[in-house]
């Protein structure tokens, strides 16, 4: 089950920007997206990258990606200067916003050029005189002119001139210094909605985004923007910045990455799962990092994700209880949309579309099937408002619409509104979960049959799980079914139990499936390899390759007391077995490791 982590690849890098995901190792998956955007950033140096918008609903990982891209770009120091700014969902006077935006860029630029990360968190964020002194002290005096220009416009409240200066500063600096800059602006849709022209916050500055009409075409300082309100942001871009941005939709994770995230969060937050419940969570969440995280981190008092009933009860809480993170997040979208179209017909439309998950409906079909007492034009306006609020999706044409394709949102929505519209027992939703899980359990058992065993689908993760939760408590048992361990070896407490991928400084990348670092120096750490294939024994060549990787990890991590371990479900060739015994490489093919 091959995968790699952009955390592990950059194990040794400097995390200049503190990421909101928390511990850096919690960043999981998104390998395709990270590969694409790292190339996109690198291509800026050849002036090939076009301004791009990342689109996805909340808690799908957009901010995590932007923050990680900032840190990697900052760390690499390879010809592209990163700038990251989040537009908050907070009302601001445009003058204050411009000063904050401008000085954020200046301080981040100083931090990059000087390699001093303390400038990313300056003590004073609105003092132009202080930042002029800093740039002169750090040998960046060429920034003084543009800072003085912005300070003059700000002090005289020449707002239009100030916004022109501020917006164009990254591009201006890049041009004058013959440099390249990537502008990462998070939650771009709030630019027009949350910034006000007057200090009393009564006149929205509805045209700030339109100012990027020319700037967004820059090839030396292109924009990488994001938005959590997909319909809203697309409406802004299409109406004010047509053809200036490419769209990249952030989809659910592929199964291997979702599985990696599930087991990593299970370990980090100490929430055990079984192989069966892990499979059910992955399938019911359809690879959504938001759903997976919400289930693992649920506040449900009786949460038990080691049983199907416990999982069902946790999902009930998350989708039906007002304290559930899944419900509260979706209700932010629903409440915002219904503040504009809040009537019974809007709810009927959404509920009706849920009945046709497999296809789109035209406006005509919706009008006729629901016998709506409104004109086609009125229906079009209502549907467009629901699309803009991310409650339904636009179809292939502006005449077609469909429900959000999602296993869980319909249950959140129906749990709140279906009883109001038609006869409905909310308990039916719990029964639907139970029915879905029964179907998934049958799929899981068929999958197990392919392995001729009730174990092994997630072998790598199961062994990581065993080392985290059970090996130390059952030390003698686990030692008994593991050959060639040192005589004084005992399973112990580990500060880190996960995969290991090589640092970028290696000319040839490599990974090992297990790296369990002992908390105490007197205990043994473990570097291991896992093979759960059915027919091919672990070969001598593979042992030699593992031995090389083992030596490199040991050296790079500066650990002396460490044992190599290979788990091969199909066993070992005679030559490989003898070599492991001779070299003291621990071996096992006992399925209790994945039991």
Looking at the fold, whether 348 and 263 belong to one and the same domain comes out as: yes
Report residue 301 as tokens.
């008092």
Residue 1 located in a structural domain: no
How many structural domains does the chain have? Answer: 3
CATH number at residue 75: 3.40.50.300
Say whether both 409 and 264 belong to one domain. Answer: yes
Sort 63 into a burial class: Cβ within 10 Å, 0-12 / 13-18 / 19+.
buried
d(Cα 195, Cα 181) in Å, to the nearest integer?
25
Q: Which domain holds residue 583?
A: 459-594
419 in a structural domain: yes
Give me the pLDDT at residue 444, please. Answer: 66
CATH number for the domain that contains residue 560 = 3.40.1350
Per DSSP, the residues of 403-461 read E---TTHHHHHHHHHHHHHS---THHHHHHHHHHHHHHHHHHHHHHHHTTSSS-TTHHH
**Does residue 512 sit within a domain?**
yes
Statement to judge: residues 436 and 505 lie in one domain: no
What beta strand segments (E) does 134-207 contain?
181-186, 195-196
Q: What are phi and psi of 129, to 5 degrees?
A: -60, -40
Same domain, residue pair 362 and 409 = yes
Last residue within a domain, chosen from 215, 249, 283: 249
Q: How many Cβ atoms are within 10 Å of 423's Cβ, its own excluded?
A: 6
Q: Does 474 lie in the same domain as 440?
A: no
- CA distances to 32, 464, 577, 586 from 247, rounded to whole Å, are 16, 38, 53, 50
Residue 367 lies in a domain: yes
Pair (394, 464) in one structural domain: no
Per-residue confidence (pLDDT) for residue 443, from 0 to 100 = 73
Q: Who contacts 355 (Cβ-Cβ below 8 Å, separation ≥6)?
A: none
**Final residue of a domain: which of 225, 249, 273?**
249
Q: Are residues 502 and 581 both part of a single domain? A: yes
Residue 422 in domain: yes
Under DSSP, the state recorded for 248 is E
What is the C-alpha separation between 314 and 565, in angstroms, rounded?
Answer: 37
Q: Which helix (H) or strand (E) holds 383?
A: helix 376-388
- Are 236 and 287 contained in the same domain? no
Cα separation, 207 vs 191, whole angstroms: 9
Residue 331 tokens, joined? 């209700």
CA atoms within 13 A of residue 579's CA, in its CB half-sphere:
18
Query: Are residue 468 and residue 445 in the same domain, yes or no?
Result: no
Residues 318 and 233 in one domain: no
- HEC assignment per residue over 397-412: CCCEEEECCCCCHHHH
What does DSSP assign to residue 508?
S
Q: pTM for this one?
A: 0.79
**What are the tokens at 275?**
């192989």
Q: Are residues 285 and 213 in the same domain?
A: no
Last residue of a domain, one of 231, 249, 267: 249
**268 in the same domain as 239:** no
Per-residue pLDDT of the chain (595 residues; tens, 9 = 90+): 233 344 444 545 678 888 888 887 788 878 889 989 999 999 999 999 999 999 988 888 899 999 999 999 999 899 999 999 999 989 999 999 999 999 999 999 999 999 999 999 988 888 999 999 999 999 999 999 999 999 999 999 999 999 999 999 999 999 999 999 999 999 999 998 899 999 999 998 888 999 999 999 999 999 999 988 888 888 888 889 999 999 999 999 988 888 888 988 888 888 988 888 988 899 888 899 999 999 999 999 999 999 989 998 999 899 889 999 999 999 888 888 887 776 788 888 888 898 888 889 999 999 999 988 888 888 888 898 888 888 888 888 888 899 888 878 888 888 888 776 666 677 777 777 778 877 777 776 665 554 443 344 578 888 988 898 889 999 999 999 999 999 999 999 998 888 887 654 444 567 888 999 999 999 999 999 999 877 899 999 999 999 999 999 999 888 999 999 999 989 999 999 999 999 999 999 998 998 7
């Amino acid at each position: 089950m091959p995968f790699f982590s952009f955390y592990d690849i950059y194990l040794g890098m400097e995390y200049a920007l503190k990421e909101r995901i928390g511990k850096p190792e919690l960043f999981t998956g998104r390998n395709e997206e990270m590969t694409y955007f790292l190339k996109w950033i690198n291509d800026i140096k050849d002036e090939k990258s076009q301004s791009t918008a990342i689109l996805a609903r909340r808690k799908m990982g957009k901010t995590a990606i932007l923050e990680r891209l900032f840190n990697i770009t900052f760390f690499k120091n390879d010809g592209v200067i990163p700038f990251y700014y989040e537009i908050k969902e907070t009302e601001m006077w445009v003058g204050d916003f411009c000063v904050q935006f401008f000085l954020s860029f200046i301080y981040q630029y100083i931090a990059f050029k000087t390699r001093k990360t303390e400038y990313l968190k300056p003590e004073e964020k609105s003092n132009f005189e202080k930042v002029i002194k800093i740039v002169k002290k750090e040998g960046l005096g060429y920034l003084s002119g543009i800072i003085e220009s912005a300070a003059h416009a700000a002090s005289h409240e020449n707002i239009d001139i100030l916004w022109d200066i501020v917006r164009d500063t990254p591009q201006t600096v890049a041009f004058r210094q013959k440099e390249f800059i990537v502008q990462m602006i998070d939650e771009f849709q709030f630019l027009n909605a949350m910034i006000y022209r007057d200090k009393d916050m009564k006149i929205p500055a509805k045209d700030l985004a339109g100012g990027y009409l020319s700037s967004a075409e820059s090839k030396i300082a292109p924009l990488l923007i994001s938005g959590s309100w997909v319909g809203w942001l697309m409406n802004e871009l299409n109406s004010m910045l047509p053809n200036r941005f490419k769209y990249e939709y952030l989809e659910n994770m592929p199964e291997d990455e979702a599985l990696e995230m599930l087991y990593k969060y299970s370990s980090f937050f100490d929430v055990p799962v079984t192989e069966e419940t892990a499979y059910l969570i992955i399938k019911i969440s359809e690879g959504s990092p938001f759903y997976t995280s919400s289930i693992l981190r649920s506040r449900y008092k009786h949460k038990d994700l080691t049983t199907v009933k416990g999982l069902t009860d946790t999902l009930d809480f998350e989708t039906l209880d007002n304290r559930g993170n899944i419900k509260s997040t979706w209700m932010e979208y629903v409440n915002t949309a219904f503040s504009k179209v809040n009537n019974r017909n809007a709810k009927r439309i959404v509920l009706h579309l849920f009945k046709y998950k497999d296809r789109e409906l035209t406006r005509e079909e919706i009008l006729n099937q629901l016998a709506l007492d409104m004109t086609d034009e009125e229906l079009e306006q209502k549907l467009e408002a629901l699309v803009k609020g991310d409650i339904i999706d636009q179809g292939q044409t502006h005449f077609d619409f469909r429900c959000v394709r999602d296993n869980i949102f319909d249950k959140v929505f129906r749990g709140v509104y279906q009883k109001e519209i038609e006869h409905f027992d909310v308990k039916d939703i719990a029964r639907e979960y139970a029915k879905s899980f029964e179907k998934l359990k049958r799929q899981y058992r068929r999958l197990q049959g392919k392995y001729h065993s009730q174990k092994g689908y997630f072998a790598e993760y199961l062994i990581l799980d065993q080392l985290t939760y059970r090996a130390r408590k059952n030390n003698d048992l686990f030692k008994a079914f593991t050959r060639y361990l040192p005589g004084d070896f005992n399973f112990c407490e580990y500060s880190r139990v996960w995969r290991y991928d090589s640092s970028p400084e290696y000319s040839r990348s490599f990974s090992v499936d297990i790296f369990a670092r002992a908390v105490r120096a007197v205990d043994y750490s473990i570097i291991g390899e896992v093979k759960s294939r059915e027919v091919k024994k672990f070969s001598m060549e593979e042992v030699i390759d593992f031995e090389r990787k083992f030596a490199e990890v040991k050296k790079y991590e500066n650990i002396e007391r460490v044992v190599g371990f290979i788990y091969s479900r199909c066993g070992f060739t005679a030559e490989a077995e003898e070599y492991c015994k001779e070299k003291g490489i621990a071996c096992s093919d006992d399925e209790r490791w994945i039991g």
